[in-house]
Amino acid sequence: MVRRALLSVSDKTGLVEFARRLAALGVEILSTGGTERALSQAGVPVISVGAYTQAPEILGGRVKTLHPRVHGGILYRRGLDTDEADVATRDIPPIDLVVVNLYPFRQAVAAGKPFAECVEEIDIGGPTMVRSAAKNAAHVGVVVDPADYGRVADELEAAKALSDGTRFYLMKKAFAHTAAYDAAISEYLTAREAPAAEPAHFPGTLAAVYEKVQDLRYGENPHQAGAFYRAGQEPEEPTVAFARVLQGKELSYNNLVDLESALACVKEFDEVAAVVIKHNTPCGVSLGQSPADAFARARACDPVSAFGGIVALNRAVDAAAAKELTDLFLECVIAPGYDDEARALLAAKKNLRLLAAPRLAEPRQGWKRRPEEARELRSIPGGLLVMDRDLGAVRREECRVMTKRAPTEQEWRDLLFAWKVVKHVKSNAIVFAQGDRTTAIGGGQTSRVESVKTAVMKAQLPVKGSSVGSDAFFPFADGVEAIIAAGATAIIQPGGSMRDAEVIAAADAAGIAMVATGMRHFRH
């Protein structure tokens, strides 16, 4: 039975309504600081923790709940004779419900506040109460997430007590909450050699905490188990992890990997764009006048590979686009949204997974990334590799013309388009592009020449007159010679090979244009 609750929260979402429901049940409410003021102003009966403990807050509020009457009331084991004797001797009433969320440390860091101010936002009493209540979950409920207020209040109104199942559910969330909080503090501190020092790019301790969304049917193959986890806080950029699934079969491990590849590629473009992915690499990318046009043009790049593929669009799907999408067997589609007519048409493909990532409709310049969101993690047995995500891009004025002939205006457009796509193709990566779409793609080969040959061999569109992007420099002239033989007229590449002079000479001999970006885009 819940007789007494302690409420002390930084995030006051839903607080007053929840407290009113508790008060209506006759639950005595204890509170502190800003929470106490908010409840009093709303007319909710509340007792200050200082009055309850007969120990007023001290040290500017740093010490207010660290008291035996608080933690004894939370931690004592109901029904255990020795604990019952202790609390009776010391007049410690039970506290059956603890509702606490913690000082906004992460928000202070994100706001760029000085070190001393960030340290001041390290909560002490809050985590202690949360951990105390969670440890004693056999007897005490602990709520750290306002999203659980309704569930808790409903259960108390029905039974005056919380079930064993609910208390265990809340216990798990509580320890995850404090683990994530401590991880954020650890990363912040271990990135610094001294309080006033500039933070290191990577912290000394990487203590990321992710929440399981679901168990997957299997991993990459049926004999491998798999699960899907995501960060506790939604990023401001569009992500697969926080996209809404609107219809279709359960997402698989491979679906999620391919969706991330498709989304990452389509995020390169401000213009209306479509990307078709197969096995974690693009098989068709195109701009268009509309989503329907962009997808039809992307599909035509490699219609054989597009069968059973994954599609990303950076504009909402309308009826015209939906009709194009239903003409081909696809596994998944991700877009900012879908209008009613499009949803009705796509519903006929009941197994097709539809995902909505509304932030895709927002300007890319508005996507802000916290430091941890700009990292890429890859596990190895016994370790973790961490690097910056490849968010690199180049502008035309940053490129250096290497050859006697400079690109034409159309070639510049095609080169910069190819450069955006080549970043998302497995190395060694080669992308032919013309007229705002890919005409051939080759990648995942052990030599650049083989990637050129693969692209040309698979091409379903004419490659003559295309411009070509290469993710890394040409170690020999043979790769450029293969591109010239295919009929391409311009190349964009990082440059910097020991044999650049030979490579440039081959290009000049054929009269093609070549530019260097000074940036490499390996993708292993």
Average pLDDT over residues 361-384: 85
What confidence score (pLDDT) does residue 110 get?
Answer: 84
The H or E element spanning position 500 is helix 500-510
The CATH T-level fold of domain 4-190 is Rossmann fold (3.40.50)
What confidence score (pLDDT) does residue 90 get?
Answer: 85
Evaluate if residue 260 carries a pLDDT over 80. yes
Of 3.40.50.1820, 3.60.70.12, 2.40.50.140, 3.40.140.20, the CATH number of 396-516 is: 3.40.140.20
What confidence score (pLDDT) does residue 66 get?
Answer: 75
Average pLDDT over residues 191-195: 92
- Torsional sign, CA 460, 462, 463, 467: negative
- Torsional sign, CA 305, 311, 314, 318: positive
Q: What 3 state SS string does 245-277 have?
A: EEECCCCCHHHHHHHHHHHHHHCCCCCCEEEEE
pLDDT (tens digit per residue) in 438-479 = 999 999 999 999 999 999 999 999 999 999 999 999 999 999
What confidence score (pLDDT) does residue 91 get?
Answer: 86
Evaluate if residue 124 carries a pLDDT over 70. yes
Average pLDDT over residues 405-417: 98
Given 135, 249, 323, 458, which residue is catalytic?
A: 135
Is the Cβ–Cβ distance between 315 and 460 less than 8 Å? no
Given 12, 113, 249, 279, which residue is catalytic?
A: 279
Evaluate if residue 58 carries a pLDDT over 80. no
Lowest mean pLDDT among 66-70, 283-287, 315-319: 66-70
Evaluate if residue 106 carries a pLDDT over 90. no
pLDDT interval class at 64 (50, 70, 90): low
Assess whether 212 carries a catalytic annotation. Answer: no
CA dihedral 379, 424, 354, 240 (to 10 degrees): 40
Average pLDDT over residues 426-438: 97
What confidence score (pLDDT) does residue 112 get?
Answer: 87
Evaluate if residue 1 carries a pLDDT over 90. no
**Which sequence spans correspond to the domains of the chain?**
4-190, 242-366, 396-516
Average pLDDT over residues 62-71: 78
Mean pLDDT of the chain: 93
Evaluate if residue 303 carries a pLDDT over 70. yes
d(C-alpha 254, C-alpha 15), whole Å: 41
Evaluate if residue 264 carries a pLDDT over 90. yes
pLDDT higher for 235 or 282?
282
User: Cis omega before residue 428 (within 30°)?
Assistant: yes
Reference 142, options 172, 119, 111; nearest CA is: 172
User: What is the per-residue burial (b if ≥16 Cβ within 10 Å, else e) of 486-520?
Assistant: bebbbbbbbbebeebebbbebbeebebbbbbbebb
pTM: 0.86
Q: Do domains 242-366 and 396-516 have the same CATH topology?
A: yes
What 8-state DSSP symbol labels residue 213? Answer: E
Assess whether 279 carries a catalytic annotation. Answer: yes
What confidence score (pLDDT) does residue 373 get?
Answer: 83
Evaluate if residue 155 carries a pLDDT over 90. yes
In CATH, the architecture of 242-366 is: 3-Layer(aba) Sandwich (3.40)
pLDDT (tens digit per residue) in 215-254 = 999 999 999 999 999 987 888 899 999 999 999 999 999 9
Region of residue 22 (phi > 0: left; psi between -120 and 50: alpha; otherwise: beta) = alpha
